Every structure is written in C-alpha cells, then in structure tokens.
Copies of this chain bind each other. A is one copy, B any other.
C-alpha cells in the first residue's frame, strides 16, 4: 500500500461519505464539523470526529481520535497498510500523528487555507526525513467545504442575533 492510491474513485467517495457522517456527529454537538475514518483491507477499522470543545482537550481532533481508536482495535501503535479519509486537510499536529502511526495513505476533502499543513502550508509529506505517505485532497471537496462554511456562517449569525438581543 506504500505506493499509494490503492482505491478507485468510487471507493474514495464511499469512504469520504462515511467520514462526512462522522463530521455531522461533531456538528450536532456544536463542534467544528470534521470527521475521519481509517480503512484497512477495505474495511473501516476506526472513526472519529472533532470533540475539542466537549472534551475540553486541545488534542481531540477527528484524526487523533480515529488514530487512537485504531491503535486500540489493532492493539498496536502501528497502523500499517491503512488509509485515512478525513473531511478537511490535516493540521500540523494531525499530520505528525499520521506519520508516527505509519498510516500510508491520506485522503482529505476540503483544503484548509488557515491551518492545513498537508498540502498548502508546509507540504510536510514531501520532507525526505519523514516516511513517504501518499496524500490526495479534494475527495468530495465541495460537500466537505460546504459543511464547514455552513457551520461558521450559522455560528456568525447566532453571534449577531445574540449581539442584537443584548443591544
């Protein structure tokens, strides 16, 4: 699997759709809607969604929760021969965790212009000192991006309504 890209486009969309369902669980808790699943031998072995506010824990991003769940399922800190599907481009912390956990393929949906590290800010995955991972963005990119922008639009609207009631 290290050569990367071992999924058809239909499979990529299927797994990203499942990651989107995880993201919606975050949204229902008023968390930034990001979800992730980990696939090994074409099966979902772990999933996660953003829980930073609910858990009051800075490390509780969707990817980290999915990695830790996969570690438990496999009873091993190595998650080899596996792929992550995540609705938004990983941040620096999550990119680092993906290296450390040896996840060889990463597929993300929306590009993250603010905090993404995987493709835009740092292109971390091309640094020779790190393991070589396959990374691909834009899978169901519009749906993943819409979920995010819709969340922040509603949040701003709610804040305005609160402001209006106060004044």
A-to-B contact residues, CB < 8 Å: 52-53, 55-60, 64, 67-68, 71-72, 75-79, 91-97, 99-102, 114-115, 117, 121-122, 124, 127, 129-130
Contact = CB atoms under 8 A, between A and B. Distances in A.
Contacts of A124: 92, 122
Contact of A96 (B68, B79, B93): B93
A47 to B, nearest CB: 16
Identical chains in the assembly:
2
B59 A68 contact: yes
Nearest to A74: B56
A1 B112 CA distance: 29
Nearest to A56: B77
A56 to B, nearest CB: 5
Given A92-B92, A96-B117, A64 B59 contact: yes
Contacts of A97: 58-59, 93
Contacts of A71: 56-59
B52 A57 contact: no
Contacts of A121: 127, 129
Given A57-B77, A64-B59, A75-B56, A91 B100 contact: yes
A139 to B, nearest CB: 23
Nearest to A113: B129
Contacts of A55: 77
